[in-house]
Amino acid sequence: MDLWADVAGQYADFAGYATDSPCFEAWARGVVGDPELLAWIGELPEGKQQPNLVFAAARWHGVPAPGPYAALRDALLGDDGRIRATILERATQTNEVGRLATLTPAFALLGAGEPLALLEVGASAGLCLYPDRYRYSWSTAEGTVTAGGSGPVLAADVAGPAPLPAEPPDVAWRGGIDLNPLDVTDADAMAWLTTLVWPEHAERRERLERAISVARTDPPRLVRGDLLEELPGLVEQAAAHGPVVVFHSAVIAYLEPVDRTRFHELMTGLVSEGRCHWVSNEGKRVLPEVTATGPEVPEELPTFVLGIDGRAMAWTHGHGRSMTWLG
């Protein structure tokens, strides 16, 4: 989803991604056809107009979801300033641990049996820094492949010759960077994360609660800062603990286009210098240089593209439910 498109374009694009949330799909399509609400959202700063953030702020202040579009419309157009303040103060930091079902095969492929130093860009609360604390169940054409002996189960449907590991990777060190890192012990911050989960997704909310419990037993090292400035130094710090894997999922979309290009150049340079590996998992238009290294993505397919060291390796569901390996 292009968060820097015009408001109608953002919400139309989001509706295509939100087909597994009838409420959010209907709300997004409602916004697209509503000039008054488009104008209200258009008065927000760029980067704060995004559907996930606006919808979550409305829910934070009592708009029922699932619920009718009319209730959302009335709440936003009749806002006394509290919803707008929440939009300006908060951020869309969905920490979807289900994505580990598609990220972990990439981690294991890069680890080759050696404990990794995982460094997450846009880490939020760092919940995706624990691939070693979960069990996995991958459904393939040949049957179910499992890995890991304990922890909550993460599942995905897999097509193609994906390198599904027999065991999750060992992790020697885990850390992350975020403009606004969230503390897993902060009840208010975790309540906001829960609100960001789409309305009908009870399973995701339950998984989030389990992920918070996992992280609270061993909170990760999270650094507050701009990824373009802080990342090289953090890579150097992480390298003292093992081979570094920098990764991110649904994060680079929040950068302005010029900064996406800067980030791609930064990561390409770090990889070429042998300082780290790079696992990216973003919408198909977010890192076009990565997407272009794989097969052409059908325009109608709302997919993420999983990249390893700048090359497209798989198409993945945005919440980790499925993966099509391209190799």
- Mean pLDDT confidence for 175-186: 93
pTM for this prediction: 0.84
Instruction: Say what the pLDDT of residue 124 is.
Output: 92
* pLDDT band at residue 128 under the 50/70/90 scheme: very high
Instruction: Say what the pLDDT of residue 1 is.
Output: 56
Instruction: Say what the pLDDT of residue 114 is.
Output: 86
The one-letter amino acid at 69: Y
147 phi and psi, to 5 degrees? -150, 150
279 phi and psi, to 5 degrees? -115, 115
Higher-pLDDT residue of 300 and 38 is: 38
135 phi and psi, to 5 degrees? -100, 150
pLDDT above 70 coverage of the chain, percent: 99
Nearest Cα residue to 31 out of 16, 10, 48, 46: 10
- pLDDT tens-digit series, residues 3-54: 667 999 999 989 988 888 999 999 999 999 999 999 999 999 988 999 999 9
- Mean pLDDT confidence for 87-98: 88
Instruction: Say what the pLDDT of residue 2 is.
Output: 58
Q: Which two tokens stand for residue 58?
A: 């409305």
